[in-house]
Amino acid sequence: MSSRFVAGMTIEDALRAAESIQGQGIASTLDSLGENVTTPAEAQRSADIYHRLLDAIQARGLKANVSVKLTQMGMDLDPEHSLARSIVSDLVDHAVAAGTFVRVDMEGSEYTQATIDLVRALHAKPENRGHVGIVIQAYLYRSAQDIATLTGEGIRIRLCKGAYKEPPAVAFPEKKDVDANFIRLTEQLLDTSLYHGIATHDEAMVAAAKEYVRTKNIDRHQFEFQMLYGVRRDLQRALVAEGYNVRVYVPFGAEWYPYFMRRLAERPANVLFLAKNMLRS
């Protein structure tokens, strides 16, 4: 079942998926799966895959960028995060040369501040402007303030609900409050003139964004909807048909397990589907 959510094991699998998606008018962001590496060599190997991806995106003229996790780039390996900073800085330099973009994914709340600090530092380099962005999670209480700081500096944001298990001290425990905050934050983002990503499969969130854009007369190409590979393909296609920009997050690689488990946890129906298929086989 993991192949429903993961494009394959190799770079070539991911590029093939991106090409096929592009044929449907959808851009992609490529994610080499992996997180919380334990040695510098592992972090560098993870980065090497991204350098190869950036070369391939440029060589094939793909409408694609990359998404990276800082714990995969060695964030846990030194308290100053110097290793991750240097590795991601090289990736952003490469993205600038390739004319594309590095999105730094957001992980659990113990990493929020360090991730924001690192992205702000990278974005402060004038050549990097427009080539590095971040993710903000609507379940965190702090997110409106973080968006104000980041957009004030011109940093592009992907807004998502948030996929990690967080305590009520830092995150809204109730889905209805996360949803209400997602809508507020979507409006906050759309009020800036930056190009942001609204990442959700929730039709109510999509409808709220569309409505806000309509009433405020915001150009529908001023932002993009983002969805995960294999999730709500019908909605992805419908949005493209309506003239919205859509980007799909294409994960690949051998380390699919934690990613896959988060996707199962999001939707009980996925667990049922998996159980039925296991019983059949």
User: Residue 55 or 108: which CB sits closer to ligand FAD?
Assistant: 108
Instruction: Tell me whether residue 149 is annotated as binding.
Output: no
Contact 183, 206 (CB under 8 A): no
Counting contacts by CB under 6 A, is residue 223 touching ligand FAD?
A: no
Binding status of residue 143 toward ligand FAD by CB under 6 A: no
User: Rg (Cα) of the chain, in Å, rounded?
Assistant: 18
- Whole-angstrom Cα distance, residue 192 to residue 150? 11
Report the catalytic residues: 105, 158
- Listed in sequence order, the residues at least 6 apart from 212 whose beta carbon sits closer than 8 Å to its beta carbon are 186, 187, 190, 218
Per rule CB under 6 A, is residue 228 in the interface with ligand FAD? yes
Q: Report the nearest approach of ligand FAD to the CB of residue 106 (Å).
A: 4
Which residues does 140 contact at the CB level (< 8 Å), separation at least 6? Answer: 109, 112, 146, 162, 166, 170, 171
User: 137 by DSSP, 3-state: which?
Assistant: strand
Rule CB under 6 A: say whether 199 interacts with ligand FAD.
Answer: yes
For residues 8 and 108, which CB has a smaller minimum distance to ligand FAD in the complex? 108
User: CB of residue 154 vs ligand FAD: minimum separation in angstroms?
Assistant: 20
Count of chain residues binding ligand FAD (CB under 6 A): 25
3-state class of 85 per DSSP? helix
Q: Which is nearer to ligand FAD, 35 or 77 (CB)?
A: 35
**C-alpha to C-alpha distance for 40 and 158, rounded to whole angstroms:** 28
Q: Phi/psi class of residue 65: alpha, beta or left (left: φ > 0; alpha: ψ in -120 to 50)?
A: beta
Residue 249 binds ligand FAD (CB under 6 A) = yes
Integer Cα distance of 31 and 104 in angstroms? 10
Told to check if 246 binds ligand FAD by CB under 6 A, we report no
For residue 266, the minimal CB distance to ligand FAD (Å) is 4
Strand partners, 248: 28, 227
Is residue 202 involved in binding ligand FAD (CB under 6 A)?
A: yes
- Residue 105 contacts ligand FAD per CB under 6 A: yes
Which one among 1, 27, 180, 231 touches ligand FAD, defined by CB under 6 A?
231
Judged by CB under 6 A, does residue 1 bind ligand FAD? no
> How many other C-beta atoms are found inside a 10 Å radius of the C-beta of residue 178?
18
Residue found by looking up tokens 């991601």 in the block: 88
- Please, is 182 exposed, middle or buried when counting C-beta atoms within 10 Å of its C-beta (0-12, 13-18, 19+)? buried
Task: Give whichever of 127 and 203 is closer to ligand FAD, judged by the CB atom.
Answer: 203
Q: Which one of 49, 70, 106, 198 is in contact with ligand FAD (CB under 6 A)?
A: 106
* Near ligand FAD by CB under 6 A: residue from 142, 220, 232, 233: 232
Contact segment (CB under 6 A) with ligand FAD among 48-56, 154-162, 188-196, 252-260 equals: 154-162
Distance CA 85, CA 73 (A): 8
- Binding residues for ligand FAD, per CB under 6 A? 105-106, 135, 137, 158, 160-164, 199-202, 205, 226-228, 231-232, 249, 263, 266-267, 270
Q: Which residues are annotated as a binding site for FAD?
A: 106, 137, 161-163, 175, 200-201
Q: Which residues are annotated as a binding site for substrate?
A: 69, 262-263
